[in-house]
A and B are shown apart, each in its own frame.
Chain A
Amino acid sequence: MTALADNSSELLVRFSRRSMAAMLVIVPGLGAMALAMTLWPEGAASRFMAQAAWVYPIAIVFLGAALRATLRGKSWDPRSPDAKAILNDELRQHSLNRSSRAALIAVLVAQIPLALLFGTLPQASAIRTALAMAEASIILGTAIFIALVLFLDRE
């Protein structure tokens, strides 16, 4: 009977989790740099980002290719039965729903600490402070969402 359940479904599940884990690294990393550029446009981080801006798309493409290589020749076709089983999986749906609710609550709760934090920064204009708060909220919400999905959708 084990021939029936080949490991293609497991490969796709692992691919999905690895992709989300990669996103969990990329989003806060790029977000932190964007935040630094917003708050300190003349700072060292902004200069570094401006000089090495071409590196990031290439790094992301390489990371994507490395992730695809873990599929061992299989492709992610959303219409395939394996992919449908993963996308419509109830445990995954539960995890996505609970994670999105938790991420929204976390973002709402974080607004006051973020306002206090960014409000105390010297040499930051009101528009930059507002922009930084928006960026920080997006980073926080996305990171919490992905981390919770990975945690709740575990074995």
Chain B
Amino acid sequence: MNDEGLRNTLKVQRAMRDLTQADLAALAGVTRKSVNAIEAGRMTPSVLLALKLSRALGVSIETLFHLDGGPEPAKT
């Protein structure tokens, strides 16, 4: 599902805030399975879900998601 090399820093950002997958799922209004699937790269989220996740973590969307081989995500 992740053919275009979309990478994410969801796990790192979540760990920096001491959040579990369930905590983040509750903040973003999704299920823990979706958070797990995105972290594992098994699912590419829609723009809406990506925005919800970035808002829940308080970071920009570019910090959370970047293309493989693209510029490194900004440190937040």
Which positions in A face B, CB cutoff 8 Å? 1-2, 4-5, 7, 9-10, 13, 81, 84-86, 89-92, 94, 153-155
Contact yes or no, B19 A1, CB < 8 A = yes
Give chain A's interface secondary structure class: helix
How many pairs of residues, A versus B, come closer than 8 Å at their CB atoms? Answer: 58
Extra 4 A-B pairs, beta carbons < 8 Å, given A4-B27, A153-B33: A5-B32, A7-B22, A84-B29, A90-B34
Q: B46: which A residues are within 8 A, CB to CB?
A: 90
Residues of A within 8 A of B43 (CB): 90-91, 94
CA distance A81 to B46 in the complex (A): 20
Contact status of A85 and B29, CB under 8 A, knowing A90-B34, A94-B43: yes
Q: Give the complex CA separation of A107 and B47 in angstroms.
A: 34
Expressed in whole angstroms, the minimum distance between the Cβ of A131 and any Cβ of chain B is 40
How many angstroms between the C-alpha atoms of A1 and B18 in the bound complex?
8
Q: How far is the CA of A85 from the CA of B49 in the complex (A)?
A: 12
Among the listed A4, A13, A84, A153, which residue makes an inter-chain contact with B26, where contact means beta carbons less than 8 Å apart?
A4
Q: Is the CB of A85 within 8 A of B20?
A: no
Is residue B67 contacting chain A, with contact meaning CB distance below 8 A? Answer: no
Contact B29 A1 (CB under 8 A): no
Give the nearest-CB partner of A89 in chain B: B31
Report chain B residues within 8 Å CB of A85: 25, 29-31
Complexed CA–CA distance, A91 and B22 (Å): 15
B49 CB to nearest chain A CB (Å): 5
